[in-house]
Amino acid sequence: WLVIDRKVYDISRFYRRHPGGARLLVSHAGQDATDAFVAFHVDKVLVSKYLKPLQIGELAPDQPSVEPTKNETLMKDFRELRATVERMGLLEPNQLFFFLLLAHILLLDTAAWLTLLCFGTSLLPFVFSLLLLTISQVQASWLQHDLGHLSVFRKTRWNHLLHKFVMCHLIGASAKWWTLLHSQHHAKPNCFHKDPDIDMHPFLFTLGKKFSVEV
């Protein structure tokens, strides 16, 4: 079970079919998932159709919305900050910027391959081509990041399509793999056992300090 806007949902059968991956839902089991739900779902109306059959009740009026282990004041401040950012239009994407970024990446890729085609694979053409491809791949990785977050187009479908093109064809990796892991990272950032980005020995890269672990 989990809670969204004080409504209780039984996800025991649905979580394996969750488009964002089963682990993402399981990491919120027994908790309030309101903030994660708002952050990850662009089309709230569409998602509500799937949520309705899963609802089994609501929290009692005297039941708090936030678990005792969490800072209620901090969460309230965060929600107010998010609402202010949305009102200011800071989350509205500049699609011309992303179009020019994609064109820039394609131009660098083309120039890199033409360099090898025209001048061969001797040291200087190879190094120059490597420089162009390195810049291109770094830029492409950030472009796919924004597309994977559904931050470029209003329509989710267009974000997914272009994300697959950039990730699979320009970078050569799996868009689905990245989305599943990165969503878990943002759902539980830096939380050991739940954030795959730090799924390593708890003392590695922490100078002896332990990672946070949810009870």
Least Cα distance to 178 among 67, 39, 15, 20 occurs for: 20
Residues 80 and 125 in one domain: no
Instruction: Supply the range of the domain harboring residue 141.
Output: 95-173
pLDDT per residue, tens digit, the chain (215 aa), is: 999 989 999 999 898 888 888 888 888 888 888 888 888 888 788 888 888 999 999 999 888 877 777 888 888 898 899 999 989 998 889 999 999 999 999 999 999 999 999 999 999 999 999 999 999 999 999 999 999 998 899 888 899 999 999 999 999 999 999 988 888 888 888 787 788 887 766 566 555 566 666 65
Residue 135 has, within 13 A of its CA and on its CB side, a CA count of 16
- 57 occurs within a structural domain: yes
Least Cα distance to 149 among 110, 119, 187 occurs for: 187
Number of domains in the chain: 2
Residues 56 and 9 in one domain: yes
The set of residues, in sequence order, having a beta carbon less than 8 Å from that of 4 and lying 6+ positions away, is 32, 33, 34, 37, 51
Residues 103 and 56 in one domain: no
CA–CA dist 193, 184 (Å, integer):
10
Residues 11 and 44 in one domain: yes
Residues 23 and 82 in one domain: yes
Residues 84 and 6 in one domain: yes
Q: Which of 68, 88, 108 is the last residue of a domain?
A: 88
Residues 101 and 122 in one domain: yes
- 105 occurs within a structural domain: yes
Retrieve residue 16's tokens: 């394996």
